[in-house]
Chains A and B, each alone.
Chain A
Amino acid sequence: MSEKIFGPLLDRDLIQETIVTAMSNGGQWAEVFVEDRQSASADFDEGRVESMVSSRDLGAGIRVTVGEATGFAHTADLSSAGLREAARAAAGAARGGDQVEPVTLRGEGVTQNRAEILPSTVSKARKVELLRQTDAAAREVDSAITQVSVRYSEGRRRILVANSDGIFNGDDQTRTLLSVNCVASGDQGLQTGRETVGYTVGFELFDEHDVEAMARRAARRAITKLEARPAPSGQLPVVIQRGGGGVLFHEACGHGLEADLVDRGASVFRDRIGELVASPTVTLVDDGTMGTEWGTIAIDDEGCPSQRNVLIENGVLTDYMWDHLRSRSSRRELSGNGRRQSYQHLPMVRMTNTFVMNGETDPEDIISGTENGIYVAQLGGGQVNTATGDFVFGMTEAYLIEHGRITAPLRESNLIGNGPDVLQNIEVIGNDFAMGSPGTCGKDGQGVPVGDGQPTLRVAALTIGGTAS
């Protein structure tokens, strides 16, 4: 790794000058965010490479605040003139404050890339070979697999964040991902199975993860579902397999703990710090420092180093997540949760890797202790109304539990519940913690990479949105 030393994206003096321009209209605080994103992807479908796409995006977003008002402008022109123009546009929208002198920038402006093998250094032929291998492994499982599509994607995102408080930090994030989607065809129509592996690493991902085994799991999932019966309709106990449902906590309570939503009264968790909001077995953490997980970052998109934040400890609400604006108005420390989709967007409070910590129960005992219910092996995406806490999730792989045993597979349907209710209704938590699949969290039209995880656990009752009575 020693040969890959990269400097800051832009010259320190140029950034300092831009901040001065941005504050020239009476701005009280200013920030320059520079981003260079290089991505490449390859799609394999119907047994052949369908497309290979590469892209490059480079630009800066400049933010100026006066009191509670924010001016923001973005530009793809990183010349001195281009930055000056954007700084003036941002300054024009945030003016009239008392004169404030920006602090001289300090810091290296760079964090070295942590990938062992930068994906851009790997030949395209090797990537195509990987796709072919994945496709073949899925097709070999059963002749009922009629379609396989595989997607490889790599992204390297270098950022530089500087502000008038003197912050001058950078990060160099590399993420690599492979996903496979199988279609199985049976007497009762088509079913799908999907698997994804993705980490904040380089091409060494494939030294550590067996893509063929992953392809077989996706194929088997589709085939299993050919025999699936309609899911029940109504309330039942639900056991969620480890790593299969961390997204439930991301949606059910994570969003409601974002300080911007709390601040606007749009969260059911407002004014509840110090209260018992969950079963005492629940400890919920958001941790941007976590190894090579999908939501891991060295610094957030406001230049604050990522950190581990305990949000709920033994059932008690301990803290919200924060960005610059919200922490400033509440006069408290940052938490490393200010993130944005790209240099064209304003940052806001976002999660990183959000997970429930281990309990003490053997997962087998959780299943055998459930007389009748649903076993969810994999949840799909979800959505939450933060004002009420009502959420909904797709179950992409689920089974009936009958007399303490996992039995028939179920067709896809949604789970619905209420965040605060679910937190109170977690009956038992396993000791088998695992992180789940990589995800993209969407909020106000911006997508950012996030991770989630949880041990096997049981919720006393959730509404299953099936069609069987």
Chain B
Amino acid sequence: MKAYQGEVESVRSGASQAVGVRIVVDGQQGFATAGSLDREVLNQVVKEARENLQFAESDPHQGIAAPDGVVPPGLDLTDDAVLRLSEEDRADVAIELERRCLSADSRITGVRSSAWSDGWGELALASTSGIAVHSEGGSCSIGVQPLAVEGSETQIGYAGDAARRPDALDLDRVVSEAVEDATGMLGATKPPSEKVTVVLEPSVAAAFLGIVVGALTGDRVIKGRSPFAERLGEQIAVAHLTLVDDPTNMESLGADNHDGEGLAARRNVIVDSGVLSQFLHNSYTGRRVGTSSTGSAVRGPRSTPSVGIHALSIVPGVDDREELFAKINKGVFIRGVNGLHSGVNPVSGDFSVGAYGQRIQDGALGEPFREATIASTLQKMLLDIVEIGSDFEFLPSGTGMTSIAIADVALSGI
């Protein structure tokens, strides 16, 4: 549901289905998928999967996950509040979101998009190894992009929220963040190029640490595509950094009872006081390195299981954001980054991404800046973390994160 100028702009609805069939024979794997549960299509999918199997090379570690005895957390994720929504309920929120942005600040002249969405999904997985799991649940989200204008300058802001229940969405916070994101950048200039301490706001810190943890997954490690592949048990980060993947915590939208292979979801400590304590594995990568699955298989019906994070979480520090700023003589507060998909090489660890935010001078926030980049390497960044904030929050992505201060990052501008 999208609203524009106080009216419903568009309503989109639909249902989709998908099925994936994976067959393993003597270490050869075949897979096929289709967007229909029609019996005729299913027969075709099985036939395709069998055919694909013949061209896959045999791999002794290939196989379907076997039950490992770990008991699932028993989370009740089937809140059906979104199923009781009417079109009017949805329209009210989308229109209200736009209206509140427009009235929050006289410099907000329009809203590019004010959107509501919700969905309900059901998933079943069964295998010849005796796994049979089923789950269903719903979620809803909102997002708004206000435009702030001053003189000839226009800035676009964004904020959003997601939850399992409509009443858990925080409209007030979304409006104030989106308006601040747009108006706060008015008058922003290009900063000088220098090495500075950067404070990453939680969503930015989550993006970076998400890439780091992505390099700690079994498939990347096995294939030598991780700068941390040989570093198990070593100190890869400062001692005050602890990262866990915890899908058993209901507060995260990434919470689940099972992983993508139907094994029980579990809490994994990945970086423990700076030490790389374990890699994440699915059953295949676990077998390859002589260990077992960490319950970290990720997949949908359209793909074979890969390895990934379900609900990354950082252990918070003691200082709030103002206290982090107070310790910095000269630095920048990064409100957002762009070009992450092109600017971070997760194999070499080199990163250089577009950044905008505010300068920090003598312990306090100052002028906004834009059209700059920040650069370092993932490896160095982990060792340059100076502070971890106490401002822990669960982001719409399911990641639990705080602000993080990192020293000696190259800021490029003029």
Contacts and interface: CB of A to CB of B under 8 A. Distances in A.
A binds B: yes
Interface in B288-304: 302-304
A113 interface: no
B67 interface: no
A70 B372 CA distance: 39
Contact of A51 (B51, B56, B225): B56
A283 B45 CA distance: 48
B372 to A, nearest CB: 7
Highest count of chain B CB atoms <10 Å: which of A46, A56, A417: A56
Interface stretch (B25-33, B131-139, B205-213, B391-399): B25-33
B399 to A, nearest CB: 19
B342 A414 contact: yes
A264 B98 CA distance: 13
A416 B13 contact: no
A48 B17 contact: no
A69 B156 contact: no
Given A69-B8, A76-B17, A183-B224, A53 B32 contact: yes
B366 interface: no
A31 to B, nearest CB: 13
Q: Size class of B's contact patch?
A: 35 or more
Nearest to A44: B57
Contacts of A70: 9-11
A344 B370 contact: no
Nearest to A463: B412
B87 A463 contact: no
Nearest to B350: A412
A279 interface: no
B60 to A, nearest CB: 12
Q: Size class of A's contact patch?
A: 35 or more
Interface stretch (A365-373, A378-386, A400-408): A378-386
Contacts of A183: 224-225, 347
Contact of B412 (A125, A149, A382, A466): A466
Chain A interface secondary structure, helix, strand, loop or mixed? strand
Contact of A394 (B56, B223, B343): B343
B339 A128 contact: no
Interface in B194-225: 223-225
A381 B350 contact: no
A416 B372 contact: yes
A233 B191 CA distance: 12
B84 interface: no
Contacts of A231: 352
Interface string A342-355: 00101000000000
Contacts of B343: 392, 394, 412-414, 465
Highest count of chain A CB atoms <10 Å: which of B8, B55, B109: B55
B29 A381 contact: no
Contacts of B112: 261, 264-266
Given A70-B11, A233-B193, A413-B352, A390 B371 contact: yes
25 contacts: A48-B59, A51-B29, A54-B52, A56-B34, A58-B35, A61-B14, A70-B9, A73-B13, A93-B10, A124-B52, A147-B223, A190-B348, A234-B414, A261-B112, A264-B113, A266-B147, A346-B10, A382-B339, A387-B154, A392-B338, A413-B373, A416-B354, A465-B373, A465-B410, A467-B352
